A and B are shown apart, each in its own frame.
Chain A
Amino acid sequence: MVAEPSRNFRSAYYEKVGFRGVEEKKSLEILLKDNPLDVEKLSTFSQRFPLPSMYRIHVWKVLLGILPPHSDSHALVSRYRLEQFDDVNGALTAMRFIHASTPATELYLRMYQLESRQLPRRSELRPPDDEDENFLAIGRAMEEIVDDPVDCYWLIRCFINQFKLKFGDSIPHLPKSLEHFLSQEDAALLAHLKTSGALRSLPYCLWFRRCFAGCLPESSLQRVWDKVISGSCKILVFVAVEILLSYKIMLMGMSDPDGVYNFLSNMPQENTDAIVTKAIDLWHKHCGTPMHSV
């Protein structure tokens, strides 16, 4: 990869001029050409650069382990996945948990529950609890991003599993680190939030458990999820910090914690791309750019 002969000599200037992702796409293609895919390199790439949208789903699948690194067995494994999906789907239909008009997200939830052996009896159906709501929110967001229902289900399932497995321990500490970084970025805002008591009642669940699903539009959300899937939950903190900084003026005007919560929960959907870009920059600034020769 170092001695890449067809390396474009202009590549050094692209970034200076402001074109990002010209070289990155190429290098990602090179990465994807490897036969046993180097998952580690892929995740580093995804941490450092934004993923081109045409490869995003593929890379996510590989990173989440839905597809094995060997491209030879991709067809086989994806057939397995499809069959598993069909099986579970069929079983659920047979058990009359779902029917033709069931929304896809609920279908996914039931499937997930069945697979994790948490499927309630049909006679004991209960309204979705917090965790189910989180799942549904993430599912809705993923549905927007992914077209194919099978892929969608697998991505949701593996995303949630990986998120719980990898970051389950660190999520309760995220509010604290949010406070820390906010104090570095804007102590006045933090002080205001503290005095008004809003700091304790920020929408942490929306931010850190649902990974901003339902908070940011999908176009911005998938850039955040790139980083989450490639193994960093810190990015969530920085997105939160950047949201607070962006709406600082509004927040300084509000002293009611509920008002702050409501405002942040139903954030305006415009300008989120800029927020995410700034958040990623901030993240790189504070946590350093992940160094791995790509």
Chain B
Amino acid sequence: MAKDQPNVFDLVPLLGSTDLHELEQVKNLLQETLSADKGTVLLNSLVDYFLETSSSQAVDILSSVREPHDKYLLDKMNECMGKQSCRLSTITLLGHIVRKQPPWIHKIARLPLLASLLKCLKADSDVVVLITGVLVLIALLPMIPQTNKQLLCEYFDIFGRLAAWNKRHPGHAHGVFAVHLHASVYSLFHRLYGMYPCNFISYLRAHYSMKENVDTFEEVVKPMLEYVRIHPELITGTKEYEVDPIRWKRFEPHDIVIECAKISLDSKEASSEEGYSTLSDHIPRRPVDHSRSCSELSIHEITSVTPMAAVRQSLSLSLPYLTVTQDSGSSAQTPNHQSDRMNSSGTMEEMWSPSSVCGMTTPPSSRGMSPTTVSDVSHSASHLSGRIPSTSGDGKWTLSPSTPSGSSPLPSLSEEIGQPAQNTSSTQAKVIQTGKELRKVTPRSINNNGGASDAKIPVSLAQLSDIVKRTDGGREDDTINEEILSLTLGRLDFGMRQGLDSSFSGSLDTLLSSHPSHEQNLVSTPNRVEFSAKGGGEQQPWSFWPTFTPIENGKSSNCSLSDLTKGSMPYEPLFDLALPKVASLFLELKTTEAIRRAEQESEHQEELEGEDLSATSPLEVLDRVIQQGHDTHEKVLKRTLSSQSQTADPHSGGPVSTASDELGMLRSQLLLLHNQLLYERHKREQHALRNRRLFGRIVNTTALEEQNNSMKTQLKLQDIEIKTVQVSLKEEQRRSRHIQEDRDALVNQLQTQIQQLQKERNDYYSKMQELKSDLQENQKKVGEMEAELQKANNKVCNMGHMLSQLSIKLNNSENMEQQMAFLNKQLLLLGEANKLCMKEIDRLGPEVSKELNMLQASSLREVERLRQSSLQQSQRLEAAQQRITDLETQLPKKEQVIREQKKLLENVKSQAMEQLQASENRYLAQKHITQALQAELLELYSQIELKILNTKSPAKPTSEPNSPPNQRPKSNSTDPSAPSLSADPVKKEEGMHVCVNGEISAGSPQTPTAFINGSQEEDLSALTRSFPALPCDSPLAVGSYPSTGSFLGKRAREMFRNKSESHYEGEPAAFTCLSKDLKVESVADPTESVELEEATDQADLQPMDRPRAYNIQRRRQQDLRIMDYNETHHEH
């Protein structure tokens, strides 16, 4: 890369090379380097190169730079823009780039280049720069539609400045420049109005409401406003919506261009698209537009200052020629005209190549436009144009001969043709004329001419010039222009006309004066003859101009005509293919257009003499000026060629004679022309883009139509099918009806059969019923018989049973009889025994009854005693039960106490734990202290030892014992504190223990737990000891109460005091009484039993009594002891 670098820079100048192959190579190399290199050096050198040479190759390369370079390029250009010298070429370069439309072009809106361009447009005073800049801006606007208010204001300011340019700088701008400027301002106007109508209108309103701007508005802006229709956005849109990026997102640049063109009424600016889209509506209108634009053309020519005379002259002179060329199709031509035409065609071939004209106005060949179609269309156009005379020919051509011999047919012809054109122009405001109407108009105009011709003929051109010299009032005399004048009088520009008039007269003079040879051509028309006769006295040095201009002009206008037709040509074949109907419509349109145009040509003449100045499109004027410029160029050429004859003219100075001046002007004009051309080409490209898209749509729609048609045919086929199917359906229906009838008949027959069968069945049924009733009766009888049989059987059974019973009874009675006999025998025996017993009893006596009585008394007493004891026992039972319930109620209380005690214990435990922790903490601290102290001690020791080692005195052993005492006091001073501290807590802890246990007698050696147990035991033994006499242990021994001395016990007692105190006191008394009773009884009992023993001899009863008494007592004790829970073991 580094090696290539110098080479590449060397290559830049080679772009100027003429060798095409080399050039190509150089270009490729440069482009490759550019795409590979990130640097800006090459780019800058390329730009510089372009600024120096304006090389088109450099433009090619520069306009195709890729993404990263664009910024550098634009920056570089911005830099160049600052320099006055290379501003123009920079803007030109920018124009090239913009037209190339690279993908990064939208970025320009954010870069300073745009700002500096706008600044330049606002501040620069060079017209060429301004025009070029404006054209670039116009081309750029659709590419950066998303703008902000600020930029928009700048655009508008530029517009305002440029619109007022002529006004502000009168004479500053060269005439041609003025035309160019005006045209570009016009384009800018269209663009701004098309893109931002609301903002623009509000700007216009604000700007031109100021007094100082009113003139500019009247002169410049107002005419422009006449060429635009009301923008729909003005009604639906808002200012904000216009600058809204969303709105612009769906538009491509060419869409925007078309959008702008749509709102234009100017044929040069307007889009021809609408004509196709809604053809029927727009056909009539277009011719009107054309005619008007033609008239505008001639009017605006007048506004341009310097070449105006020449233009006018040329136009006026060209008209005869024009008519001739248009009439070329028809045979009726004077020989003079023929020769004139020959001449003109000769020159035309010399000066103009049709291709150049084509190249200028038609899209490039890359569009696929074949030359054959071009020629075809041009041919058709010319044919059509030729047809005009033939249609109206009768009236026209008859008229011309009828005019007096002095007048030539030519003026009349031109006038005649002009007449309808005027008509159209006069009606343009209100009437939309169709092609047919136009044709009607022509005869009418002929009629008019018929009337007017008399008045017309005497009026010579010289007279015309006279009339022109006069003010507008004088115009009315001109019969030819009567109608136009009446229409356009108010709008005439007087100031301009002065110049016009003089130039006109001048040019007329030149025609006459010094060049008879050339004049011959013109003079050949009778008009000229007359003219020459009138203005013969006057001499004009301008020789070649007037003579050649007519030819030129005629040709150029011819060319422009063909251009116009060509302009729409390339699409025509497409439409022919795609839309046959539309194409035919289009052809029709073409013819009307052509007719119109033919009329316009003649109209030029009319309007030249004095017509609506404000009604001409600036573009038309520009066209004119361009042609004019070409004419001048021609002339200069001619003049240089035939310099001898020309130099003779003394007056030839003017703008042409000062050659250098002229050359400079021409050069800049050429530049402007080129810019304009490029701008127009850019516009065409945009149109072509759009057209291609539209064509794509058309192809789509035709394809859809095709599809539609095929679908239709399919539909028809299906219809037919449906019909056949319907016929077969009817046949089938008929057949099915037959079958139905047959079936009905069969059904009827079968039904009658069924009825018969049913009747039979009914008969059978009734018979069967009867039989059934018989059967039932029989069955009933059988049932009765069976019942009877059962009864009989029952009777037999009963009888059998009774028989067996009777036999059993018989057996029984027999057994009884036997027993009776046995019993009788026993009775006899017993009677005997009884007698013996009676004898025995009599022998025994009264002793038996006494013992019996005693036994009875003792048993009674025994019963009494038992009853007593049972009573007593039940009483005890009751007491015991009461005791149980009492104890049961005490149980939960006790449990609660236990729970509380547990909680308390827990509490105490945690408290102790914390205290322990605190003391543990202390202990640890102490430990750490001692450790620290020990460490300190050791350290000190080691120091001392080290010191001793160091000093190494001989009295080492003696010094050693000395040191401990020294040390000791120190350690002593700390040590005692620790023991004393540690001793104290121990003491206090003991104290605490004592406190906890609740013993006042401190210092007892017993451990608390042991003490508690001991005291309890003592208490218990004391309790047992306190009731030794009682036969049964007191229930108080329940005494599971903790000892009174213990801590827990204390608390427990506190809780129980109220309830158990009374219990304690009351119970023992009751029990002692009871036991006393028992004791008395037990003492009394044995004595009684001894008495009984002695009284009665029945010993077997006594031993039974004693143990019982003992048992009772024992049981009583046990009963009582049940109440004692844990003291049973104390008994034994």
Instruction: Name A residues whose Cβ lies closer than 8 Å to a Cβ of B.
Output: 36, 68-70, 72-73, 76-77, 80-81, 83-84, 87-88, 90-91, 94-95, 114-115, 117, 119, 121-123
Contact = CB atoms under 8 A, between A and B. Distances in A.
B933 A91 contact: yes
B907, B911, B921, B977: which has the most chain A beta carbons within 10 Å? B911
A75 B593 CA distance: 125
Nearest to A124: B939
Given A73-B915, A87-B978, 8 more contacts: A36-B911, A69-B914, A76-B918, A77-B914, A83-B922, A114-B928, A115-B925, A122-B936
B907 A95 contact: no
B881 interface: no
Contacts of B151: none
A-B CB proximity, top 8 nearest: A68-B914, A91-B929, A70-B911, A80-B918, A77-B918, A84-B925, A84-B922, A95-B936
A84 to B, nearest CB: 5
B939 A123 contact: yes
A87 B923 CA distance: 11
A73 B913 CA distance: 11
A36 B907 contact: yes
B933 to A, nearest CB: 6
Contacts of A94: 933, 973-974
B932 A95 contact: yes
10 contacts: A36-B907, A68-B911, A68-B917, A73-B914, A87-B925, A87-B981, A88-B925, A94-B973, A95-B933, A123-B939
Contact of A121 (B919, B928, B939): B939
Nearest to A81: B918
A95 B930 CA distance: 11
B933 A77 contact: no
Contacts of A80: 915, 918-919, 921-922
B945 to A, nearest CB: 15
Contact of A70 (B910, B919, B926, B931): B910
Contacts of B915: 68, 73, 76-77, 80
Contacts of A77: 914-915, 918
Contacts of A73: 911, 914-915
Contacts of B918: 68, 76-77, 80-81
B935 interface: yes
Nearest to B907: A36
Nearest to B925: A84
For B926, B936, B939, which residue has the most chain A Cβ atoms within 10 angstroms?
A: B936
Contacts of B929: 87-88, 91, 114
A46 B918 CA distance: 25
A84 B919 CA distance: 9
B911 A72 contact: yes
A107 B622 CA distance: 106
B981 A83 contact: yes
Contacts of B924: 115
A80 B992 CA distance: 15
Nearest to A117: B928
Contacts of B936: 95, 121-122
B932 A114 contact: yes
Interface of A is mostly: helix
For B910, B914, B978, which residue has the most chain A Cβ atoms within 10 angstroms? Answer: B914
Nearest to B922: A84
A101 B808 CA distance: 142
A117 B932 CA distance: 8
Contacts of A122: 936, 939
Interface of B: 907, 910-911, 914-915, 917-919, 921-922, 924-926, 928-929, 931-933, 935-936, 939, 973-974, 977-978, 981
Contacts of B973: 94
A81 B918 CA distance: 8
Nearest to A80: B918
A91 B932 contact: yes
Nearest to B935: A121
Given A80-B922, A94-B933, A115-B925, A70 B977 contact: no
A292 to B, nearest CB: 21
B980 to A, nearest CB: 11
Contacts of A36: 907, 910-911
A36 B915 CA distance: 14
Contacts of A95: 932-933, 936
Contacts of B907: 36, 70
Nearest to B978: A87
A87 B931 CA distance: 13
Contacts of B922: 80, 83-84, 87
A90 B928 contact: no
Contact of B974 (A76, A83, A91): A91
A117 B925 contact: no
A201 to B, nearest CB: 39
A223 to B, nearest CB: 29
A69 B918 CA distance: 13
A269 B931 CA distance: 44
A87 B914 contact: no
Contacts of A87: 922, 925-926, 929, 977-978, 981
A83 B982 CA distance: 11
A88 B939 CA distance: 19
A115 B915 CA distance: 19
A117 B931 contact: yes
A68 B981 CA distance: 22
A80 to B, nearest CB: 4
A269 B739 CA distance: 115
Nearest to A66: B918
Nearest to B973: A94
A94 B975 CA distance: 11
Contacts of A114: 928-929, 932
Nearest to A77: B918
A76 B924 CA distance: 18
Contacts of A121: 935-936, 939
A87 B933 CA distance: 12
Contacts of B910: 36, 69-70
Nearest to B912: A73
Contacts of A88: 925, 928-929
A115 B939 contact: no
A67 to B, nearest CB: 9
B921 A84 contact: yes
Nearest to A95: B936
Nearest to A116: B928
Contacts of A90: 974, 977
A68 B907 CA distance: 12
A18 B922 CA distance: 47
Contacts of B977: 87, 90
Nearest to B926: A87
A95 B928 CA distance: 13
Contact of B928 (A70, A72, A76, A115): A115
A280 B921 CA distance: 35
Nearest to A76: B915
B727 to A, nearest CB: 83
A91 B914 CA distance: 25
Contacts of B981: 83, 87
B240 to A, nearest CB: 32
B411 to A, nearest CB: 88
Contacts of A72: 911
Contacts of B925: 84, 87-88, 115
Contacts of B939: 121-123
A220 B931 CA distance: 40
Contacts of B926: 87
A277 B919 CA distance: 40
B872 to A, nearest CB: 55
A87 B928 CA distance: 11
Nearest to B988: A76
Contacts of B919: 80
Nearest to A121: B939
A241 to B, nearest CB: 38
A69 B909 CA distance: 12
Given A84-B922, A87-B981, A122-B939, A70 B933 contact: no
